[in-house]
Amino acid sequence: MTAQGDVRSLPPGHWPREERLALERALAPDDDGSGECGAAAALRPATLASYVQTYGQFLDFAARTGGLGEAEAPGSLVTPARVAAWRRETRARGLAPTARRQMLRNLSAMLRLLAPDRDRSFITRPGNRPLRRAIPGGPKPFAVHDADETMPHLRRLHRRGLAMADGPGRWRALRDAALLAVLLTRAPRLRSLVAMTLGRHLERRSDGTWHLRFPGEHTKTGRRLDYPLDAAASGMLTDYLEQARSRFPGAGRTDQLWMGMRGPMTREGAQGIAERRTRAWFGKADGPHAFRKWLRASAARRSPELAMDAADIMGHSAEVSVQHYAEASGLHAGLRQGDRLAERRARHAGRAERAFAAEIERWEEGE
């Protein structure tokens, strides 16, 4: 699950008036070429979206605790007492320490955009302590499921969908198999996944496989991503397109690739699909981001070069790709050393046993 995927975020249209106006000022572009623009205008869309989502979650918390009507100026709701109460709620919800720290950093960054003169130190240094001391701990324990372990579940889901009578159950099974196959083999980020359209993001090749294209505005790093789907994932996507997509309500009025029973698939809908299916398969719900970790881990277990390829497929920067390569190299060095130690133990086991037996024999003879 994402750090922020299990709680409602108040959209900007429902923010207090002063907050909305401050956001508009922060987003003001440099229309006249003067070099003067809002503080948020130069941010990457994905970064800004993350800040807005977190701030919306904080405002939703304020609304649920009866404080939304107290807004008098941009950022006036962000008080030490309310932030402390929000911290306690995120802990009670069971969010990982890393997620909680990131949410506070996002809140501080958003407050800087809306009210640059406001003190923000109480957000990122609660009790005048660094966040890592105020909220100690690392990520939650995480189980990695290898691609070879997960793909059989997808194939069974796909076959079950094909065998079902026409109806919502069949449509959902074929859709879920195709969507999760794309996640498992190519692991696009959730935002990129739900933004996929029939024409812009998909190209069918002469051999029947599909090619995926994600323009820079749909990726976190701004890099264009371009890669093929393998035959198995392509087959599942084809069956979804030919036998299920057009049956979903409203499919004829949109070119969005992924459909739900109420129209185009939302981020929350894709999150729910991943969690529902992984809970059924592995006994624990994992969101779409888990598939990125699984792809990276599966590649790293095979070779450092594949870890580098996986990082590139997932749209990581060159620095992160090199880090993945180094980590995978270390993993394989450890595995090789383990193999050498096991071989040495096996080679010397007989010698040690014979020496021990001889020592016992001498001891018994000396009694």
Listed by start position, the domains of the chain span: 12-134, 147-299
Phi and psi based region of residue 316 (left: phi greater than 0; alpha: psi -120 to 50; beta: remaining) = beta
pLDDT category at 321 given cuts 50, 70, 90 is very low
- The distance in angstroms from the start CA to the end CA of the chain is 68
Please tell me the predicted confidence (pLDDT) of residue 190: 85
The DSSP line for 93-113 is TT--HHHHHHHHHHHHHHHHH
Contacts of 85-89 spanning 24+ positions with Cβ under 8 A: 85/61, 86/58, 86/61, 87/126, 87/135, 89/61
| Residue 46 scores a pLDDT above 90 | no
Please tell me the predicted confidence (pLDDT) of residue 247: 97
Beta strands in the chain (DSSP E): 202-204, 210-214, 225-228, 259-260, 263-264
pLDDT category at 222 given cuts 50, 70, 90 is low
SS3 content of the chain, % helix, strand, coil (to 5): 65, 5, 30
**Average confidence (pLDDT) over 3-15:** 73
Q: What is the architecture, at CATH level 2, of domain 147-299?
A: Orthogonal Bundle (1.10)
Please tell me the predicted confidence (pLDDT) of residue 255: 95
For residues 94 and 90, the model is more confident at 90
The predicted model scores a pTM of 0.58
Q: Over the chain, what is the mean pLDDT?
A: 81
Pairing, β 210-214 against β 202-204: antiparallel
At a CB cut-off of 8 Å and minimum separation 6, what does 170 contact? 161, 162, 164, 243, 244
At a CB cut-off of 8 Å and minimum separation 6, what does 11 contact? 56
The structure tokens listed for 195 are 């933004």
> Are residues 91 and 134 in contact, defined by beta-carbon separation less than 8 angstroms?
no
d(Cα 260, Cα 169) in Å, to the nearest integer? 12
Please tell me the predicted confidence (pLDDT) of residue 1: 37
Pairing, β 259-260 against β 225-228: unpaired
> Are residues 72 and 28 in contact, defined by beta-carbon separation less than 8 angstroms?
no
The structure tokens listed for 180 are 């999760």
User: Which of 184, 185, 195, 276 has the alpha carbon at shortest distance from 228?
Assistant: 185
* Tens digit of each residue's pLDDT (9 = 90 or more) over 97-122: 999 999 999 999 999 999 999 999 99
* Tens digit of each residue's pLDDT (9 = 90 or more) over 239-296: 999 999 999 999 999 999 999 999 999 988 999 999 999 999 999 999 898 888 787 7
d(Cα 303, Cα 329) in Å, to the nearest integer? 8
